[in-house]
Amino acid sequence: MDSPADRTAPVRSPGARDRDEEGRARNARPRDGLGRPLPYGAQGVPRQPEGVARTPADTVAEAQRLLDEGKPFHAHEVFEDAWKSGPGPERELWRGLAQLAVGLTHAARGNTTGGARLLRRGAGAVTRWAASEHGQRDPYGIDLDAVARWARDLAADVEAGIPVDAGARAPALRG
C-alpha cells in the first residue's frame, strides 16, 4: 500500500509545471537540509510528507530530531502540520515554532535580515501564546522561555555577522 508521502509525490512533466497526482502545483525538485532546491536528479534530503496528523508529543519529537540533524526547513513543515491541524487555541503556538524553524533556516542560509526578523517574530509569538488565556510556559514539555531566549540570542548573533550552522545552533525544545 502507498504511504501518504507516495500519494502526494510530485510528478515531473517535461516542459510543464510540476504537479502532484491530484493536479496541484508541487515543485518536484529535490531539496537540501536547509530546503534549498537542488537540480532535478540530484540526491536530496527526503521531504516531510504534508498533512500528517501527529500527537503534540510526536510533533515535538520529530521536529527536535530534524533540528538536531540541521534540517530546520523540514522541522518547520512538521510544525506547520500541527499549526494547520491542531486545536484553535494552540495554533499560535505551533505557528510561532514554525517561524522559529524558518528563522533558523534563513539564518543558516546567510539571510541576515530574514533570519533575524523571523527568529524575533517567532519568539514574540510563543511568548504571547504562553501569556494568553490558553497558554502555558511549558506546553508538551517545551520550555518556551528558553526557546524565546535562544531565538533572540541567535537573532543578535546573526545581525552581528556570526555564521550559523543549523545543527550546532538548534534549540533544545525541551530544555
pLDDT digits (tens, 9 = 90+) for 129-165: 999 988 888 899 999 999 999 999 999 999 999 999 9
R_g of the chain, CA atoms, integer Å: 17
Portion of the chain with pLDDT greater than 90, in percent: 63
Look up residue 127 and give its three cell numbers. Answer: 511568548
Pairwise CA distance, residues 25 & 27, whole Å: 7
Query: Which cell goes with 110?
Result: 546567510
| pLDDT value at residue 17 | 64
pLDDT at position 41, please?
87
* DSSP states of 102-134: HHHHHHHHT-HHHHHHHHHHHHHHHHHHHHSTT
Q: Distance between CA 21 and CA 152 in Å, rounded? A: 41
CATH 1.10.287.70 correct for 56-159: no
The answer to whether the pTM exceeds 0.75 is: yes
Residues contacting residue 87 through CB under 8 Å, at least 6 positions apart: none
Interval 97-134: pLDDT, tens: 999 999 999 999 999 999 999 999 999 999 999 999 88
Mean pLDDT, rounded, for 66-87? 94
- Is the separation of the CB atoms in 119 and 152 below 8 Å? yes
**Average of per-residue pLDDT across 70-74:** 95
Residue boundaries of the structural domains of the chain: 56-159
